[in-house]
Amino acid sequence: MAKRVVPEAARRRRRPTKQGQVLTHQLIVETALRMLREHGAAGLTARRLGLALGADASTVYRYFRGMDDLILAIADELFGQAIAGWSSGGDWRADLRELGLRIHNAYLAHPQAAVLTASRVTGRPNEVATDEIILGVLRGAGFPDGEAVRIYHAFIDQALAFAILDAATLALPPAAREADEEVWRNTYARLPAATHPNIAATAPLLVARMNDSAYPTALDMLLSSAAASRDPGRPA
């Protein structure tokens, strides 16, 4: 059974925690993000979070219905970081490109949290605000509602899919990540043209590109497709 969440006004402790801090929703989310960065998903438990906050583990449940509720709050925090300070420049394509990169970068700044949250739908204020912005850019650019939703769907799913993929790489232990990166030099770059002519012909390019995220390229391709659908017959 879900635990009752205490209203914000009643949540504050009358005295600071052992660290001298007064607990807030935001402080708990920020501490959870730090714990994910340092210990991964397995290290984020109510007991450990309570210890990090200098409070009893049960205190967390005065702010969140459970650990999954906290995970959703973390997901919403990442959206908040993505759109903080954003404003439209007036060019729909440039606006969407910046928003996509902001979302991607916000998740990659917290790779452990990204792997845990990017597949979730929260319905919370920052996520909703982000969706409203994206749809507003598309509708403001003249896309019919059906087309705006189609492009929005592809846009946000692409950003979050690449966030999971790229964050999973960053979340690997350094030795494993370095070993994966070296495969392009130690295996692909050494394949003979007699058996693998296409890989051999493009090996230097593969080595130069394949350890970087393909998200900016994929984003540009999606925006070019959207532009073509908006203005058929005109160059994207």
Which CATH number is 137's domain given? 1.10.357.10
Say if residue 35 is in the same domain as residue 87. no
| CA dist., res. 111 & res. 230, Å (int) | 35
Q: Residue 130: helix, strand or coil by DSSP?
A: helix
Say if residue 33 is in the same domain as residue 139. no
- Domain annotation covers residue 2: no
User: Could you list the residue range(s) of the whole structural domain that residue 180 is in?
Assistant: 74-230
- Six-digit token pair at 222? 């999606």
What does the CA dihedral 156, 160, 163, 167 come to, rounded to 10 degrees? 170
CB contact set of 134 (below 8 Å; sequence gap of 6+): 96, 99, 152, 155, 156
pTM: 0.86
Say if residue 79 is in the same domain as residue 29. no
Last residue of a domain, one of 65, 92, 110: 65
Backbone φ, ψ for residue 37 (5° rounding) = -65, -40
Q: Using CA of residue 94, residue 158, residue 30, residue 23, what is the dihedral sign?
A: positive
User: Using 50, 70 and 90 to split pLDDT, how confident is the model at 61?
Assistant: confident
pLDDT at 192 over 70: yes
User: Using 50, 70 and 90 to split pLDDT, how confident is the model at 14?
Assistant: very low
Q: What is the pLDDT of residues 129-173, one digit of tens each?
A: 999 999 999 999 999 999 999 999 999 999 999 999 999 999 999
- Find the largest Cα–Cα distance for the chain: 75
What domain count does the chain have? 2
Last residue of a domain, one of 65, 91, 114: 65
DSSP letter for 211, please.
T
- Six-digit token pair at 190? 């050494």
pLDDT at 5: 56
Lowest-confidence region among 8-17, 49-58, 66-75? 8-17
Say if residue 195 is in the same domain as residue 88. yes
| CA dist., res. 80 & res. 96, Å (int) | 16
| CA dist., res. 134 & res. 100, Å (int) | 9
Measured CA distances, 230 to 41, 132, 147, 148 (Å)? 42, 20, 9, 10
- Six-digit token pair at 27? 């402080």
- Domain annotation covers residue 178: yes
**DSSP H or E run through 116:** helix 111-117
Q: What is the DSSP track for 209-224?
A: HTTS-SHHHHHHHHHH
Say if residue 83 is in the same domain as residue 159. yes
Q: In this structure, are residues 125 and 76 in contact, taking their beta carbons and an 8 Å threshold? A: yes
CB contact set of 216 (below 8 Å; sequence gap of 6+): 101
- Domain annotation covers residue 1: no
Say if residue 118 is in the same domain as residue 82. yes
- Domain annotation covers residue 235: no
Say if residue 80 is in the same domain as residue 134. yes
pLDDT at 56: 86
pLDDT at 10 over 70: no
The stretch 75-100 carries a mean pLDDT of 97
| CA dist., res. 22 & res. 129, Å (int) | 28
Q: What mean pLDDT, rounded, does the chain reach?
A: 90
Q: In this structure, are residues 230 and 141 in contact, taking their beta carbons and an 8 Å threshold? A: yes
User: Pick the residue with more confidence: 120 or 235?
Assistant: 120
| Domain of residue 25, CATH code | 1.10.10.60
